[in-house]
């Protein structure tokens, strides 16, 4: 599998924020979000081909009881099935972080689905050459429903402006999502931006009865790799 990084940290986002976890970050993505915070897995995918057995050994050595399989888009990795079943055989709780555009048979305890809203489309990046493809792929309602039916899930929306929450609401309604499983997270990698957005986003979460997610790893360590 093409792996960008494996590291031991705290889950920074979503309903398991704060939980010590080993992160296995696959490289390669079918989308190109304009604000992607891991461009080394999407816009310029980097990494090494590592056999599943070596990945499992590295995960096991951390001693973590929780594994986060993230990306990039881990659901397009050819060995995602063997990897997740191997993690399960090690007794780890498995979170998969996905944009929800692809279904694959996996072992998973929390499917962390982050459907990409219109704010993600890269009209202004790289001459806009990925915008049409991204726009065509970013929302796959049938796949989202299938993932939500197959697994315990959270729907984690990345919010850059208050009106993004209306778009998230329309999608959550169409998917008949459990409001307790809807999570809004501010977009950004600068502490000042996150702080400013968190203030109004918290009010939106209160009004709608949704969960607010911090970006704990950014708060603690800044926007760097391996945390």
| Residues binding ligand SF4 (CB under 6 A) | 29, 31-33, 36, 38, 41-42, 71-73, 99
Q: How far is the C-alpha of 52 from the C-alpha of 176, rounded, in Å?
A: 36
Q: Supply the minimum distance, in Å, between the C-beta of residue 53 and ligand SF4.
A: 25
Q: Which is nearer to ligand SF4, 126 or 199 (CB)?
A: 126
Is 62 in a helix, a strand, or coil?
Answer: helix
> Nearer Cβ to ligand SF4, position 21 or 42?
42
Check: CB of residue 10 under 8 Å from CB of residue 218.
no
Q: How far apart are CA 61 and CA 59, in angstroms?
A: 6
Nearest to 123 by CA among 33, 214, 6: 33
Toward ligand SF4, which CB reaches closer, 72 or 86? 72
State the nearest-atom distance from the C-beta of 105 to ligand SF4, in Å.
21
Instruction: Please identify, using beta-carbon distances, which residue of 60 and 133 lies nearer to ligand SF4.
Output: 133
Contact 26, 2 (CB under 8 A): yes
CB of 37 to ligand SF4, least distance (A): 6
Structure tokens at 212: 């607010």
Minimal distance, residue 209 CB to ligand SF4, in Å = 26
């Amino acid at each position: 599998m093409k792996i960008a990084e494996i590291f031991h940290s705290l889950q920074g986002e979503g309903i398991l924020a704060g939980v010590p976890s080993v992160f296995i970050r696959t490289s390669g993505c079918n989308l190109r979000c304009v604000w992607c915070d891991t461009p080394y897995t999407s816009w310029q995918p980097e990494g090494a081909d590592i056999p599943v057995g070596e990945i499992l050994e590295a995960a096991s050595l951390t001693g973590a009881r929780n594994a986060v399989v993230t990306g990039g888009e881990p659901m397009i990795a050819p060995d995602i099935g063997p990897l997740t079943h191997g993690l399960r055989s090690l007794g780890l709780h498995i979170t998969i972080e996905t944009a929800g555009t692809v279904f694959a048979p996996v072992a998973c305890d929390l499917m962390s689905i982050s459907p990409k809203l219109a704010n993600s489309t890269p009209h202004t990046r790289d001459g806009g050459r990925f915008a049409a493809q991204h726009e065509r792929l970013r929302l796959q309602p049938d796949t989202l429903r299938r993932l939500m039916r197959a697994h315990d899930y959270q729907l984690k929306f990345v919010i850059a402006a208050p009106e993004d929450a209306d778009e998230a609401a329309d999608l959550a309604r169409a998917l008949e999502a459990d409001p307790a499983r809807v999570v809004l997270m501010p977009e950004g990698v600068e502490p000042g931006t996150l702080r400013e957005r968190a203030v109004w986003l918290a009010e939106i979460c209160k009004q709608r009865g949704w969960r607010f997610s911090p970006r704990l790893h950014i708060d603690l360590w800044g926007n760097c790799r391996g945390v």
